[in-house]
Amino acid sequence: MTKHNCIVVNLDKCLGCYGCEVACKMENDVALGEHWSKVILRGPLGEYPNMVKYPLPTMCQQCENSPCVHVCPTGASYRDPDTGIVLIDKEKCIGCKYCMMACPYGVRDWNVATKTVEKCTLCGHLTAQGELPACVKSCAGGARFYGDLDDPDSDVSKELAKYAASDIHTLPDVGNAPATKYIMTSIHGAWKEGE
């Protein structure tokens, strides 16, 4: 059965330190100016005195109905049947950039050197050996979790189980069903994405 591996970010714990972004670049040798993982500082949003500001770490959202896979003309963008992770076979990429157009979140990047599209792989080379993705390992606030959403014993399922459904969010869904979940409770702010 296909797994639903993804990242869960607990924004109540996120420091906004950009450590995940740096760790990703170091681990995956992401070129200068390119990002597979990017922290966006959101806000201030809302009206005084009810204003919020929070860091929003973004990466490939591992959409269940991934538009990048649907539009790819050569099958270079595909879902790994074992891990369920959306990946790119750079040997098949023709550089048409359709997947970059189709991605609602702009989390795919263009590698100038190889002239192919790249993105977060959930550090498949590490997770295949039982390790955690670099961004999860290095998270100073312990805010990032990795695992299979369908496995109740996975880190992501256990973290999500601690919170009410109203505290669990996704980036705006335009039919692509992003798997990545963000936790944010009313104690620390209000989720503003998609409003």
Q: Which residues bind other proteins (CB under 8 A)?
A: 38, 40, 42, 45, 56, 58, 67, 71-76, 91-98, 100-107, 115-116, 171-172, 174-176, 192-195
Amino acid at 173: D
Supply the minimum distance, in Å, between the C-beta of residue 162 and other proteins: 27
Supply the minimum distance, in Å, between the C-beta of residue 81 and other proteins: 16
DSSP assignment of 30-45 equals PPTT--SSEEEEEEEE
Closest CA to 24 of 111, 122, 113, 147: 122
Nearer to other proteins, 36 or 145 (CB): 36
Supply the minimum distance, in Å, between the C-beta of residue 11 and other proteins: 14
Distance between CA 100 and CA 106 in Å, rounded?
6
Nearer to other proteins, 97 or 125 (CB): 97
Distance between CA 184 and CA 142 in Å, rounded?
14
Give 16: exposed, middle or buried? Use CB within 10 Å, 0-12, 13-18, 19+.
middle
Six-digit token pair at 160? Answer: 């999500």
Nearer to other proteins, 35 or 126 (CB): 35
Parallel/antiparallel/unpaired status of strands 5-10 and 181-183: parallel
Supply the minimum distance, in Å, between the C-beta of residue 106 and other proteins: 4
Supply the minimum distance, in Å, between the C-beta of residue 174 and other proteins: 4
Nearer to other proteins, 13 or 42 (CB): 42
Nearer to other proteins, 63 or 156 (CB): 63
Amino acid at 16: G
Closest CA to 27 of 122, 118, 112, 106: 122
Nearer to other proteins, 22 or 102 (CB): 102
Supply the minimum distance, in Å, between the C-beta of residue 91 and other proteins: 8
